[in-house]
Amino acid sequence: MSLKTITMKFAFLSLLTLTVLFGACKKKNSNNDLVYIPGTLYVGLKAATPADSCFSVANRVNLNILVVNGYNYKSPLPKDSVDALKNLLFAKKYIDTFQPGSILPLKTYVYYSALGYTSVAAILNFMDTASQRDWIQTIGQLNLTEVIATNTDSPKMMQVSVPVGKEQYYKDLILTNSNVSWVMFDYQGTQYSY
């Protein structure tokens, strides 16, 4: 698969995620068909928010991180190291390598860019504090450099678990963090046409 194909696929999937979350697509169902899913929030992060600051958003208010999406890195490793890098990263329990039944077919990609560097697009799942520490250490050990989106609509986001009945409280609390762009409740049931 070519770099352009992989990059386009990842960009499309990130855009699809945001489009579904923001409801920018044409809805076929009425608002009455939406099903509120209690106990989770989606948090949009500013483009320049590094992973450790992303984790701090949830940790400061004692919330569990379910998914982190939108972090892209550049590695100095040569082309012949891509398979070894994949093996190292995919062995980590929190690296998403796509699970059947997932709503969105997102996964972590590791590939050699036509621009002459190894690229890592990471999807992180169930980030307890040990996994968070491990990811930060991995970034340093592999000398990964984050590639920050240049547009203002950063695809960085995370899903957090909150106590049922306290969603509005945590939404308001999280919105006070300077690294946060938006917070949304979890709704399912809307059909979108593309």
pLDDT surpassing 50 at residue 193: no
Domain locations along the chain: 3-193
pTM over 0.85: no
Q: Is 47 left (phi over 0), alpha (psi -120 to 50) or beta?
A: alpha
Mean pLDDT of 155-173: 94
Rounded distance between C-alpha atoms, residue 124 and residue 191, angstroms: 26
Q: Per-residue confidence at 154, pLDDT binned at 50, 70, 90?
A: low
Q: Treating both helix axes as pointing N-terminal to C-terminal, what angle do 51-59 and 129-141 enclose, rounded to 10 degrees?
A: 170
Confidence class for position 153, pLDDT limits 50, 70, 90:
low
What is the per-residue pLDDT for 25? 41
**Overall average pLDDT of the 185-191 stretch:** 69
Residue-level pLDDT at 189: 54
Nearest to 54 by CA among 148, 192, 166: 148
- Per-residue pLDDT, 97: 60
How does pLDDT run across 90-136, given as a tens digit for each residue? 888 888 765 544 444 456 777 777 777 788 888 888 889 999 999 99
What pLDDT is stored for residue 98 in this prediction? 54
Query: What pairs with residue 71 in β-bridges?
Result: 122
State pLDDT tens for residues 53-95: 999 999 999 999 998 988 889 998 888 988 898 888 888 888 8
Give residue 170's pLDDT band: very low, low, confident or very high (50, 70, 90).
Answer: very high
Coil vs helix vs strand at 13: helix
**Cα separation, 46 vs 54, whole angstroms:** 9
Note the pLDDT tens digit of each residue in 2-48: 434 443 344 444 443 444 444 444 444 455 678 888 999 999 999 88
